[in-house]
Structure 1
């Protein structure tokens, strides 16, 4: 049965890339909103978890307010997918006009000084579009890491898609990602990592909106190992077709303490920067999975099917 489901999943994503990219942009946007509203009305596991996550971000929200926020969140999430399906056919001009980023001097200054850069982002808005914009704006390749997906053919689709946007993509497991990333940084390169959800179950504990969560320590460790600048990045949508972003100031390596202590301090600083962007635009945070440790404890699952997470 799992083989059938895997083939169906792969086929559906393939259909998205082959069909949605051919639609006029307004039609693709309408389709995304329709799918988002349908998924939201089903109240599946992903939507319910999204609301639980939003309840931490907006603790004073009423149940009705959280429901409306999750509806906006699902529309933002489907905007990500509709854009991603269409990105391979966007012109360089369309990509460059579709993003505005403040604080890019933090990136260019570090690169000009011969330092590598670790750009760390949460699951806000469309990081694939941001990556395509960086590749177009800076005219340099950069390296990222992708979660291995099942089936393998689907993972291969995402690798090919992101490589087509100008990224070098390393698998999160089954390889030597950390060593390759460190080499790229020592050569003065750019590494971009989505870093608000720990995939290893052994991440760094942080205080996140007043509760304990775990986030990956990799960005902080890479900065310590290589001397690269560690830069938090937050993104947001607004009512225009333009996605806006902010590169935050570099997170310094603490002068004292051992490696675990330094990693903890730096990862907490990342979490704090992520929280500012998420609090300002919670609807653009596409976290349909469990994040806080309280939610990771065993608990009964809702019976309805889950909406998928973003790879």
Structure 2
């Protein structure tokens, strides 16, 4: 049963990559909205979890407002998928016109310093499109990490897709990727990491919208070990095909404290930057899983 399910999942994603990228852009967008609205009306676990998460981000929202936000959130999530299926065939010149970043100079100046740069992002809007912007518009290839997916063939599809956009993709196998990321940074390279959810034992506990959550320690640890500049970034959608982003001020390594204390302080600063972007555009935060510690099921 597991092997059959894996083949089905891989086949469905394969159809998406093969089919959607051949559709005219308006047709692909309309298809995404229809799929999103159908999923939203079914009120499945993912939609209910999205609403629960949004209730923390917009605490004064009543039930009707939360339903509006979750519907917009599902449309944003499917927009991400429709865009991602089409990204490998997009004219690279569009990355400079369809994507605009506030305070882009902070990234350019950090890259020019030669220290290496870590960009940490949450699951907002389309982080793959932001990566393609960095390669196509800024002109800098970068390294990232991808969680191993099942089936393995699906993971291979994701890696091949992201590498076609100019990314170096490392598998997330415990701490095995850390050394390679550190070497890239010491050579003055760019590392981009999605960093708003980490439920592993190594996750750093932060205050996020007033409650405890865990986020990855990797960005802060890499900055401490290599001297790289750590820049949080947030994204949001505008009217298609526009996407906007903001490069937040660098998170500095504290001058005193233990390594653990420094890592906690830096990860909290990253979380605070993420919270600014998410609060401003909650409908573009694609968090359909449990995040806050008091939402997690009890485990032995």
Q: TM-score, normalised by structure 2?
A: 0.98
State the SS of the aligned residue for 1:49: helix
Q: Is the 8 A contact 2:203 2:215 kept in 1?
A: yes
State the SS of the aligned residue for 1:105: helix
Aligned to 2:195: 195
Q: What is the rounded CA distance, in whole Å, between the counterparts of 2:11 and 2:31 in structure 1? A: 18
Choose 63-72 or 168-177, whichever is displaced more.
168-177
Q: What is the rounded CA distance, in whole Å, between the counterparts of 2:202 and 2:290 in structure 1? A: 15
Q: Is the 8 A contact 2:93 2:136 kept in 1?
A: no
Aligned to 1:228: 228
Q: What is the rounded CA distance, in whole Å, between the counterparts of 1:277 and 1:192 in structure 2? A: 17
Residue 260 (structure 2) pairs with residue 260 (structure 1): yes
Q: Is the 8 A contact 2:95 2:137 kept in 1?
A: no
Q: How big is each residue's C-alpha offset from its partner over 1:243-295, in whole Å with a ceiling of 9 and x where there is no partner?
A: 00000010000001000000000000000000000000000000000000011
Q: Is the 8 A contact 2:145 2:171 kept in 1?
A: yes
Q: TM-score, normalised by structure 1?
A: 0.94
Aligned to 2:295: 295
Structure 2: which 5+ residue stretches go unaligned? none
Q: What is the rounded CA distance, in whole Å, between the counterparts of 2:142 and 2:74 in structure 1? A: 29
Choose 173-182 or 40-49, whichever is displaced more.
173-182
Alignment: residue pair count: 299
Q: How big is each residue's C-alpha offset from its partner over 1:126-169, in whole Å with a ceiling of 9 and x where there is no partner?
A: 00000001001122210000011000000000000000000000
Cα RMSD between the aligned structures?
1.1
Aligned to 2:25: 25
Displacement of 1:94 after TM fit? 2.2
Structure 1: which 5+ residue stretches go unaligned? 300-311
1:262-277 equivalences in 2 (<5 Å): 262-277=262-277
Aligned to 1:13: 13
Aligned to 2:119: 119
1:98-177 equivalences in 2 (<5 Å): 98-173=98-173, 176-177=176-177
Aligned to 1:251: 251
State the SS of the aligned residue for 2:21: helix
